[in-house]
Chain A
Amino acid sequence: AQSVTQLDSQVPVFEEAPVELRCNYSSSVSVYLFWYVQYPNQGLQLLLKYLSGSTLVKGINGFEAEFNKSQTSFHLRKPSVHISDTAEYFCAVSDLSGAQKLVFGQGTRLTINP
C-alpha cells in the first residue's frame, strides 16, 4: 500500500517570490507521481506527472517537480508566483501494477500575498 505526506498544510508567500511545496511518499513498489491543483470552487486539474525518465518534470503554469527516489520525494516548485496561483495543491501516487487507484496527500493551501 502507498501513502503520501504533504509536509505543509499552508504556505503563505509574497507575489513574485519562489515557492516549494513538499511531498513525500511511501511505497513498497515503484510508483507514478502526480501533482494536482484545485482553484476555489472547482475540481482538481492535473499540473504535472512523473512516469519515468528525467527526474525533473515540467508542468503547466510554470510549475516543475523533481522526483528523488532515494528520498522518496516529489517536491513542487515555481520560481516566481502570481496571485492567480492561490489554490490548494495535492500530491498523489499510483503504483506501477496498473491499478487505477490514486492515493492523495492531505493538500497544501498556497496563499499569495501582494
Chain B
Amino acid sequence: DVKVTQSSRYLVKRTGEKVFLECVQDMDHENMFWYRQDPGLGLRLIYFSYDVKMKEKGDIPEGYSVSREKKERFSLILESASTNQTSMYLCASMVGRGNQPQHFGDGTRLSIL
C-alpha cells in the first residue's frame, strides 16, 4: 500500500513565523500535491509538483511556497504565517496522469495564533 506521511498531526504557530509542513511518500510517485481543507469549501489546491524541482501553482498559492528537492519529499512553506492560514493541510501523491487516484496523508491541523 502507498503510504503518505505528514510530519505533524497538530501544529500551533504564531503570526509572522515561517512554518514548514513536510510530506513524504514511499511509492516513487512523480506527482505530489498540497491542499488546504476548510469546512464548506472542500479541498483547494495550493501547489503541486510533477517532478523533482518542478512545481505549479494551484488555485490558492498566495502566502505559500513549496520545495521538492527529492522525489519522495514535498514541503509546504508558509513564509509569514497569518491567522487566516489556520486550516487542515493535506498532502497527496499520485503516479502517472489524471486517470489515477491520489493517495492522501492523514493531514496536519495548523493553528496560527
Contact = CB atoms under 8 A, between A and B. Distances in A.
Interface of A: 4, 6, 9, 32, 34, 36, 41-46, 49, 51, 90, 94-102, 104-107
B97 A100 contact: yes
**Majority secondary structure of chain B interface residues (helix, strand, loop or mixed):** strand
Nearest to A98: B97
Interface in B57-113: 58, 90, 92, 94, 97-99, 101-102, 104-107
Contacts of B41: 106
Q: How large is the interface on B (under 10, 10 to 19, 20 to 34, 35 or more residues)?
A: 20 to 34
B4 A100 contact: no
B11 interface: no
Contacts of B106: 41-43
B98 A107 contact: no
